[in-house]
Amino acid sequence: MLTYNPTCFRVTHNIKVLVEIGVTDSNIARLLRSKFKLFHINHIHVLVEELKHLGFHPSKSIFSIALIAKTYVPKTRWKAKVDAFKKWGWSDEDVLDAFRNQPHCMLTSVEKINSVMSFWVNQLGWDALALAKVPRVFGASLERRIIPRASVVHYLWKNGLLKRNASLTSPFLYQEKLNLAHNKDKTTMV
């Protein structure tokens, strides 16, 4: 005899919701493998509509990351993260733009947000709003990536070796191998 299993029903229903709105099979499979808890929530349709309203397209993988962030970060912690960004001069719109650009930034802890901002603003003297354009920096290791690269950029900037319109943030976006190759190419041009 078959019995009703509410968990199985909810998981099946949530998969159906994601399929109907256009989330790709590969993104659903990835979510099932890595974030199965996401399929147990009762209000997935509400989150999906909220993300669509924010401009996320369900067929893109970034939609899945945004869904994870909205599912796994409770409202009180979400507000604490927004407040942390605002403490450093970001507006609500800056936070939303950063989330749209890189949803991972809302999966970062408040402590990490404040550590990166403190280093960026207080130690380097750079504008906190620059990070709103490249929120991927918040996912990088402060000790292994941000501080070493900032030291090089700061040295180049202080010694007039960077052009006036040079981006202070782009060196933080490259992966280590790409960054080394990118910098090697640039040194041959100097």
Query: How far is it, in rounded angstroms, from Cα 116 to Cα 87?
Result: 13
The number of distinct structural domains making up the chain is: 2
Same domain, 98 and 160: yes
Mean pLDDT of 124-138: 93
pLDDT at 122: 96
Q: Would residue 1 count as lying in a domain?
A: no
Same domain, 34 and 46: yes
Which tokens belong to 147? 């501080």
Same domain, 43 and 81: no
Query: How far is it, in rounded angstroms, from Cα 150 to Cα 155?
Result: 8
Same domain, 112 and 65: no
Mean pLDDT of 122-130: 93
Query: How far is it, in rounded angstroms, from Cα 25 to Cα 22?
Result: 9
Write the Ramachandran bin of 167: left for phi over 0, alpha for psi from -120 to 50, otherwise beta: beta
Under a CB-based contact definition with an 8 Å cutoff, are residues 138 and 113 in contact?
yes
Same domain, 127 and 175: yes
Q: Would residue 118 count as lying in a domain?
A: yes
pLDDT band at 190 (very low <50, low <70, confident <90, very high): very low
Which tokens belong to 126? 């750079």
Domain of 91, in residue numbers: 75-189
pLDDT at 129: 96
State the pTM of this model.
0.82
Same domain, 99 and 168: yes
pLDDT at 178: 44
pLDDT band at 176 (very low <50, low <70, confident <90, very high): low
Cα dist from 106 to 25, 74, 173, 180, 189, whole Å: 25, 11, 18, 28, 38
- Does residue 189 have a pLDDT over 50? no
Same domain, 86 and 34: no
Same domain, 64 and 86: no
pLDDT band at 118 (very low <50, low <70, confident <90, very high): very high
H helix or E strand, kind and range, residue 69: helix 61-72
Mean pLDDT of 135-143: 93
